Amino acid sequence: MGKWQRYAKGATVMRIAETGNWAAVLSSGRVRVIGLDGTRTIAMRGVGDIVGEQAVIDGKPRSATVRADIAVRALVLGGREFDRVLGRHPHILRVLCTVVSERLREADRNLGSQGSDTVTRVSRLLVRQADEYEVDGEREVRVNIGSQAGLGESLGLSRESAVRALRVLREANIIRTRRGVVTILDLGALRDCAG
C-alpha cells in the first residue's frame, strides 16, 4: 500500500497552498517545515514522522511548505490509501490524534514564548556580530551585547522578549550568557535558528 518516493536534498516535498490529497511517512532523512513567509523554518521532521496529513484529513490547502533538509525516502499514501489504512487499523487513528495534539502543543509553546520570531531576530543579530568578531579556528565566539534591555531595544523588542529568546538559545546549549556577554557555543546551530 502506498509507494516509495525519494527526494534529493533541497527538493520541495510539499508546497504551501496546494491541494493535498496525499501524506508521506518519512523512513529516512529529515525535512524542514517552512512557514507562510517562505523562509522561516517552523519545524523539523525526521524518521517515523508523517507530513501532509492535515490536508488529507480536512481537505483544505496545505498550510506549509515541506523541503528535504537532507536526502529523504518516504512512503507516500494517497487520500484513499490513507483512509483504507485507518479503516483496517483503527489504532493508527489514535496515534495520528497524538501527533496532531503534539504539534498543537508545539505551536502553543512557540506562541507562548513569542516563538521563533523573537528567537530568529536575536539569533540573526548574534550571527551578524559573531561574523564581525570571529577569529579563524576559535571554537567559542564572544559577543558583547551590553545589556538585555539594550539588546531588546536594538531589535524593537521588550527586555522580557529578549530575555526569553536568550533563554531558549541557552537551554538549547547554543549560547552561554554572563553580564552583557553572550558566548556562542554552537555557531552552526545559531545560524540555523537565524534562518
- One digit per residue, the tens of pLDDT, for the chain of length 195 reads 799 999 999 999 999 999 889 999 999 998 988 877 777 667 788 899 999 998 998 889 998 999 998 999 999 999 999 999 999 999 998 999 888 888 887 666 545 444 448 888 889 888 888 876 655 555 778 888 878 877 776 676 788 888 889 999 999 999 999 988 899 998 888 988 887
- Cα radius of gyration rounded to whole Å, the chain: 20
User: CA separation (Å) from 58 to 20, 53, 54, 97, 98?
Assistant: 10, 9, 6, 13, 17
Q: Which of 60, 69, 79 is nearest to 16 (CA)?
A: 60
Residue 121 cell numbers, joined: 531576530
Residue 47 cell numbers, joined: 524518521
**pTM for the full predicted model:** 0.57
b/e map of 11-30 (b: 16 or more CB within 10 Å)?
A: eebbebeeebebbbbbeebb
